[in-house]
Amino acid sequence: MTFNIIVEDEAKQDLLNIYKYICKNDSQPKAKNFILELQKKIQSLDSVPYRCRNSYYTDDQNTKDLIHKKYTIVFKVINNNIHVLTVFRQKSY
The pTM for the full model equals 0.92
Predicted confidence at residue 92, as pLDDT, reads: 60
Block means of pLDDT (10 residues each) for the chain, 93 residues, are 96 98 97 98 95 94 96 97 96 62
The neighbour count for residue 77, using CB atoms within 10 Å, is: 18
Predicted confidence at residue 91, as pLDDT, reads: 74
Residues 93 and 82: their CA atoms lie apart, in Å, by: 31
Q: Which homologous superfamily is 4-89 in?
A: RelE-like (3.30.2310.20)
CB distance 85 to 76 below 8 Å: yes
Per-domain boundaries in the chain: 4-89
